[in-house]
Amino acid sequence: MKVRGFEVCKGFENYNINLPVRKTRNSVAYDIEACEDTIIPSIWKTVFSNIKKFLTGNKDFLEIKPTLVPTGICSYFGEDEVLILANKSSFPIKKGLVMSNSIGIIESDYYMNETNYGHLQLTYYNLSFKDVVIKKGEPAGQAYFQKFLIADNDNATGIRKGGFGSTSKE
């Protein structure tokens, strides 16, 4: 009987993906690898481009957007649990990378949803002055499971209809 764990996500079967592992017996989190090379551009390219546009009267500014790092994995766990996606502790100092959403909150019904089959992706901003490349197979983030509690008067009855960012949609 499966309780909680990771699987290769549908559509990524031929990517030669390593499932997340804890590196030591006292590790809280599982290291998650990128399933393909991903370039995370420096936000400063966009900032300086927008300043140049502003100074020349061009108001067609570029949007600063986070970069999604695909992992090719999904995760299953209990309805009273959550999977937390977090940054690698070394990334802000060594690479200038910060997660755009601070942490990722993954609910149990994200697994195998009809839009993206529960594909876990990490979202990063690059605050350094150079583009950063996360190579396939390189740890790109970490994940840990946790129990959560529900308030006495909770009456949530909604059903997930999609993937990334779908719980706020009607």
- Domain boundaries of the chain, sorted by first residue: 5-149
**What are the two backbone dihedrals, phi and then psi, of residue 141, each rounded to the nearest 5 degrees?**
175, -170
The pLDDT of residue 165 is: 59
Average pLDDT of span 124-141: 98
User: With 80 as the cut, is the pLDDT of residue 168 above it?
Assistant: no
Mean pLDDT of the chain: 93
The sign of the CA dihedral 23, 2, 19, 142 is: negative
Secondary structure letter of residue 33 according to DSSP: E
pLDDT tens for residues 13-43? 999 999 999 999 999 999 999 999 999 999 9
pLDDT in tens, 46-72: 999 999 999 999 999 999 999 999 999
Tell me what pLDDT residue 119 has: 97
Give the tens place of pLDDT for each residue, 94-114.
999 999 999 999 999 999 999
Report the candidate in 95, 76, 105, 81 with the shortest Cα–Cα distance to residue 140. 95
Of 146, 150, 151, nearest in space to 105 by CA = 146
- Residue 62: DSSP 8-state: P
CB atoms within 10 A of CB 170: 4
Considering the segment(s) 5-149 as one domain, its CATH architecture is: Distorted Sandwich (2.70)
Q: pTM for this structure?
A: 0.88
